[in-house]
């Protein structure tokens, strides 16, 4: 799937993708890796992981992985060792801060050391240098002419991430990851390959608007966030103001534009077959099953996202 844009380009990294079993980011259940050495990508690899949170699956409708698939799978500790061996000192490149969040959450839960692994975010580069109407992984891949792939398959997502990173490096004439991520220059063009301008945001007086001075590298920048239930840390209005300050749009309901649903008063460990979820969460699950990139997170994960830098 991965083409070589510059065979002599000394770009070294390993693209990574994690899939999770449920709403808890520590519930990693699959890992996908694509190693790139001197600008040449190896075939992608993927393997299952026994979720550190236990075999409670609520995200099967997104990626198709069920408890039966992880029976006998390696532990998170063993997965870390395998990842470190494959990287061989190369940095990990993920598409969005989600994967670093999974890594941190799983390490925190299990008490594992980070093995010296370094993360970089390819989505940061897309936001910095392009003005696509959508920054979703499949949409950006399509903008770059990357062949279609099975989204939420860990191996294929990692390969797409690698391909996107190589394309951006070629566009920026970057010969190393340090040069690529250190290039803070921006392009002013908006829209996709055809130059279509991004639509003006229509203000809704009752909801806070995205801050025009927000940091485009914060993981909430450009997201469309909807809150479900009551948070213990913030009131609904305050939480909406906070995400808007980071450049996110606030949605009162889950729509086809929603990318993040934050659940208040919920512990994924308590969810069992037949348990009741809010209509917003159910709607998000339905949209995710249809291919929309929408994530449902707990309040704890939301607080971790807020503190991301």
pLDDT digits (tens, 9 = 90+) for 71-85: 999 999 999 999 999
Tokens of 97: 């801060």
DSSP for 228-243 reads ES--SSS-HHHHHHHH
Domain contains 210: no
How far apart, in Å, are the Cα atoms of 242 and each of 208, 247, 297? 9, 9, 16
Look up the CATH number of the domain holding residue 92: 3.30.420.10
Q: Are residues 173 and 253 in the same domain?
A: no
pLDDT digits (tens, 9 = 90+) for 166-206: 999 999 999 899 999 987 654 433 333 333 333 333 344 58
How many structural domains are present in the chain? Answer: 2
Domain contains 113: yes
Q: Are residues 177 and 240 in the same domain?
A: no
Domain contains 199: no
Look up the CATH number of the domain holding residue 279: 3.40.50.10190
Q: Are residues 156 and 44 in the same domain?
A: yes
Domain contains 6: no
Domain contains 48: yes
Tokens of 248: 């996110």
pTM of this prediction? Answer: 0.72
- Domain range holding 228? 224-306
Domain contains 193: no
Q: Are residues 247 and 137 in the same domain?
A: no
Domain contains 267: yes
pLDDT digits (tens, 9 = 90+) for 233-248: 788 888 999 999 999 9
In angstroms, rounded to a whole number, what is the distance separating the alpha carbons of residues 293 and 285?
Answer: 10
């Amino acid at each position: 799937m991965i083409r070589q844009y510059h065979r002599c380009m000394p770009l070294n990294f390993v693209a990574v993708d994690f899939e999770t079993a449920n709403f808890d980011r520590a519930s990693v259940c699959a890992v996908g890796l694509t190693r790139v050495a001197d600008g040449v990508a190896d075939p992608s690899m993927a393997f299952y992981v026994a979720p550190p949170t236990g075999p409670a699956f609520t995200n099967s409708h997104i990626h198709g992985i069920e408890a039966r698939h992880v029976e006998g799978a390696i532990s998170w500790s063993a997965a870390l060792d395998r990842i470190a061996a494959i990287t061989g000192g190369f940095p990990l490149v993920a598409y969005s801060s989600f994967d670093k969040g999974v890594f941190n959450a799983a390490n925190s839960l299990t008490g594992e050391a980070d093995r010296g692994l370094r993360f970089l975010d390819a989505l940061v580069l897309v936001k910095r240098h392009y003005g696509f109407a959508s920054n979703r992984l499949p949409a950006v891949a399509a903008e770059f002419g990357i062949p279609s792939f099975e989204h939420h398959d860990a191996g294929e997502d990692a390969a797409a991430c690698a391909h996107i990173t190589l394309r951006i490096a070629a566009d920026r004439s970057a010969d190393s990851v340090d040069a690529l991520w250190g290039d803070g220059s921006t392009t002013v063009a908006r829209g996709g390959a055809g130059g279509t301008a991004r639509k003006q945001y229509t203000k809704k007086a009752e909801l806070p608007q995205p801050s025009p001075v927000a940091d485009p590298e914060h993981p909430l920048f450009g997201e469309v966030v909807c809150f479900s239930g009551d948070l213990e840390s913030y009131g609904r209005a305050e939480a909406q103001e906070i995400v808007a300050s980071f450049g996110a749009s606030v949605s009162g309901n889950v729509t086809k534009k929603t990318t993040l649903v934050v659940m208040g008063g919920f512990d994924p460990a308590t969810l069992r077959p037949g348990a009741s979820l809010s209509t917003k969460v159910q709607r998000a699950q339905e949209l995710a099953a249809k291919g929309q990139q929408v994530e449902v997170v707990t309040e704890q994960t939301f607080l971790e996202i807020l503190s991301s830098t």
